[in-house]
Amino acid sequence: MATINVYTESTPNPATMKFLVNKLLINGSLDYPDREKAQESAFARELFKFNFVNGVFFASNFVTVTKTDDAAWSDIEPLLKEFVKGAVESELAVKPEEHSEDVVFEGSDVEVKIQQVLHDYVRPAVEQDGGAIAYKSFDKGTVTVELRGSCSGCPSSTITLKAGIEGLLKRMVPEVEEVVAEAM
């Protein structure tokens, strides 16, 4: 078995830290914004046993952890790095096996095009910051998305949404007039 290395990266959200490993954890992404939703994932469930963990998000080769306001990264980062290393080495399950992550775009031609742009161009960039974006709807020129992981509650997410995502979608899908985020 190869040695598992864990390193951290800060995210635009100061309450969230990205823990990267040299192994694929999941195809796609999973968001566990609270302890109750984390029950289906052994890995997330164990992370929530730390009283300072407020949210867990998995994508490709990383897990982002959102901490409580009273915890300091300098105190908890070493504990979490060690936990993540041990969890990956012991192959603690990130998701139940029956969970499928096949990409299927549905809706009108415009909706499919919006989803394709979000998947191909926006998702990889958002994942770099430890988050995820999900398409919710398109109605009368307005695209509604859901921001998850470190993007949820991030101070710079509004700028990213308006300056980045909205601008890209307006250029690539002329029917788009505005992009809004649905509250979590």
pLDDT tens readout for residues 104-163: 888 999 999 999 888 877 887 777 777 788 899 999 999 999 887 777 767 677 777 777
Contacts (Cβ under 8 Å, ≥6 apart) of 58:
25, 26, 29, 30, 31, 41, 43, 44, 94, 95
Domains parsed from the chain with CATH numbers: 6-90 (3.30.1370.70), 109-183 (3.30.300.130)
Q: Which two tokens stand for residue 55?
A: 């949210």
What would the two tokens of residue 117 be?
């742009």
Burial 27-38 (b: 16+ CB within 10 A, else e): eebbbbbebeeb
For the chain, count helices (H), then strands (E): 6, 8
Higher pLDDT, residue 132 or 44:
44
- 97 pLDDT band, cuts 50/70/90, is low
CB 138 within 8 A of CB 157: no
The pLDDT value recorded for residue 161 is 75
Q: Is 99 helix (H, G, I), strand (E, B) or coil?
A: coil
pTM over 0.85, yes/no: no
- Amino acid (one-letter) located at 98: E
Taking a C-beta distance cutoff of 8 angstroms, is the pair 61, 21 a contact? yes
Give the Cα separation of 4 and 84 in Å (integer): 9
* Residue 95 phi, psi dihedral angles, 5° rounding: -145, 160
Which among 156, 159, 141, 149 is positioned nearest to 184, based on CA atoms? Answer: 149
Looking at residue 101, its pLDDT comes to 53
Q: How far apart are CA 60 and CA 130, in angstroms?
A: 10
Name the pLDDT band for 164 (thresholds 50, 70, 90).
confident
- In tens, the pLDDT along 47-83 reads 999 999 999 999 889 999 999 999 999 999 999 999 9
